[in-house]
Structure 1
Amino acid sequence: MQGAHRKMSRQLPSIELLQAFLTVAKTENFGKAGESLNLSQSAVSRQVAQLESRMACRLFERHTRKIVVTPEGAALVPVAEQVIGLLSDASSMLGRVGRSVSLRAHPTMAARWLIPRLTAFYQRYPDVSVSVDTVYHRFPDFAFESIDAMFAYGTATWPDYEAMPLWEEALIPVCAPQLLTGTDSQAMLKTARLVDSSMDRLDWRRWDDLYPDTTGGDNGHLTFDTLESAIVATKCGQGVALVDAVLTREELLEQQLIRVHPGSIKTGGRYTLVYPKRVKRSSGFAEFLEWLEREVAEAGFALTRDG
């Protein structure tokens, strides 16, 4: 019996081999898989070859320009995902003290909306710790990373995940109060510098399409690559910006920013909490999800789910 156990142990593939296989299956490219795993292309190729030898079958058809998963490889994908996911969950659980939630979010959304609300969360769940990273440009690979959920922004839908929409973006024009000294908003918009929160200046082009002749046509521009930078510049009196009404709620209530036109732009983008279905009932995240649903409902946002 012990001999049979030793034989079975030798035949089981390692997690490293399964991870290399799964990454290649997702990227369909040894080079891209190597970049994701911080390994060389040849190292990934050797790991896949080792797994194929261990499994006694070909997992990929290697062509000149692309790699195609074989039927045997396709059958292994969900098994590898489950194994790595379970190991990731166990590792995360054992490596944490108490209950915890790990989140990824855009830095502006994290600083302006999420983090200020965490005070109320800690008051209700003092034994749950929350960590937030702002690697917002990369959607997490939930099978490999210790991330429970991501606050995503955009127009995407999430059929493979649970998804809680938070709010749809509506941009409104605002400025600092001092820009309106001695003039009115209509006249000011004709001459003011327009502050952009993206390098393509798309939002102000949309505004001119929807509300022609409200700006001067030859206004100067001050361009940034983040909404946060645009908001700070606008609060400093450097121009008029189109900003998310939800993310600038406090400045508007405190009149640090003044709305200068009743119009708004619906960009089609929305903020959404996205997470794998398997973490929905995990300790810590279940409490966070319950609290977030209540926060969103009390703020008056619509709660419709994808996934």
Structure 2
Amino acid sequence: MFTHLPHLNQVRGFEAAARLGSFKAAGEELNLSPTAISHQIANLEDKLGILLFERRTRSVILTREGSKLAQAAHQALQQLSTALEEISNTKSVLRITTTTSFASMWLVPNLASFQEKYPEIQIEIKTGEDLIDINRDRRIDLAIRYGKYDEKNAHMIKLVTEHFGAYATEDYLNRHKDLKVGTLIETQWKNKNLPSITWRNWLQAFRPDMPIPKISCFDQEHHAIQAALAGQGVVLVSSVLAKMAIQQGWLKPLDGNCSMPGFTYYLLVSPFSGELRKVIAFTEWLVEELSENT
């Protein structure tokens, strides 16, 4: 019945190249060389007797026939992937991308409850500040992002909106009753699209007459928190990321009433993974966990 169909590897190579717009990117996703992808697609074109791509100097563009096949190939591979995921007895791998700070200060410390509930799902976390396009990269199932939440964007799932507070160890606060002689710790965003949340903003709002003391800056929030835990100063940081340190009594608030509005953590689901059980389970757990614990 299906003897006329091309080899599955050719279809996978073609679908990846069509989605990513690059033989090189398709090869990286499938762990093949760009030459191997090119050969797969050339063999597929020979079998079909049509051109699927227009080859240009630095890019490839789908032909009309190629666009039609790309849509069908994507749907077929998605259905096959979903079915295999559902019937397989092997551990399912859920791949998540998020910021380094959220992974280290919230996600990893809270992940045990998910793994206890779903031991058959293995979690792989990719961290970094560079945004991965999950609409094109099939290697990622979920992206936990941070920034301004757009309630009109149907693809965003709101998780939690933070506030920024000032925290330090109890010992540091006892030794520095006067904030003017202490050290203030803050984060300077790598993402320049985010408005800065700084000690200068905090002092202007809550201590406008106080001269600005020494300020120590880090480019990662978890580094700033670690500096505060080491007794190096008072950190201005997200309530979400400081939650565990506060619960454990490692950090104390400088003034609980002096907090500033922050940003929102939200979830993006890959269009290739949205119907998978592992994605639905993790999404439900994450939304519930953040609503209860923050």
| Both proteins in one fold, TM over 0.5 | yes
- Unaligned residue ranges in structure 1 (runs of 5+): 301-307
Return the TM-score normalized by structure 1.
0.72
| One-letter amino acid of the counterpart of residue 251, structure 2 | L
* C-alpha contact (below 8 Å) 1:61/1:70 kept by paired residues: yes
| One-letter amino acid of the counterpart of residue 136, structure 1 | T
In 2: Cα distance, 1:196 partner to 1:290 partner: 31
In 2: Cα distance, 1:187 partner to 1:117 partner: 36
Matched, 1:133 2:144: no
Helix, strand or coil for the counterpart of 2:122? Answer: strand
Helix, strand or coil for the counterpart of 2:38? Answer: helix
Aligned with residue 21 of structure 1, among 14, 28, 32: 14
Q: 1:66 to 1:284 in 2, by over 3 A?
A: closer
| Equivalent position of 2:259 in the other structure | 263
| Equivalent position of 2:267 in the other structure | 273
How far residue 195 of structure 1 moved from its aligned partner, in angstroms, is: 4.5
In 2: Cα distance, 1:197 partner to 1:131 partner: 33
Deviation digits for residues 209-264 of structure 1 (CA, Å, limit 9, x no counterpart): 564468855725253x4322321221011223232101211322444223335132
In 2: Cα distance, 1:281 partner to 1:41 partner: 31
* C-alpha contact (below 8 Å) 1:113/1:247 kept by paired residues: yes
| One-letter amino acid of the counterpart of residue 258, structure 1 | K
| Equivalent position of 1:228 in the other structure | 222
| One-letter amino acid of the counterpart of residue 160, structure 2 | W
In 2: Cα distance, 1:89 partner to 1:170 partner: 39
| Equivalent position of 1:52 in the other structure | 45
Q: 1:130 to 1:160 in 2, by over 3 A?
A: farther
How far residue 208 of structure 1 moved from its aligned partner, in angstroms, is: 2.3
In 2: Cα distance, 1:234 partner to 1:78 partner: 52
| One-letter amino acid of the counterpart of residue 157, structure 2 | M
Return the TM-score normalized by structure 2.
0.75
| One-letter amino acid of the counterpart of residue 126, structure 2 | V
- Unaligned residue ranges in structure 2 (runs of 5+): none
| Equivalent position of 1:208 in the other structure | 200
* C-alpha contact (below 8 Å) 2:146/2:265 kept by paired residues: yes
* C-alpha contact (below 8 Å) 1:88/1:143 kept by paired residues: no
Q: 1:93 to 1:63 in 2, by over 3 A?
A: same
Higher mean Cα deviation, 27-36 or 14-23? 27-36
Note the 1:1-307 alignment, pairs <5 A. 5=1, 8-9=2-3, 11-97=4-90, 102-106=94-98, 107-121=100-114, 125=117, 128-137=119-128, 138=132, 144-145=138-139, 148-155=141-148, 163-184=156-177, 186-188=179-181, 191-196=182-187, 198=189, 206-209=198-201, 211-212=203-204, 217=212, 219-223=214-218, 225-260=219-254, 262-266=258-262, 268=263, 270-276=264-270, 282-283=276-277, 285-299=279-293
In 2: Cα distance, 1:96 partner to 1:162 partner: 31
Q: 1:41 to 1:285 in 2, by over 3 A?
A: closer
Helix, strand or coil for the counterpart of 2:241? Answer: coil
In 2: Cα distance, 1:291 partner to 1:193 partner: 35
In 1: Cα distance, 2:6 partner to 2:148 partner: 39
Q: 1:195 to 1:283 in 2, by over 3 A?
A: closer
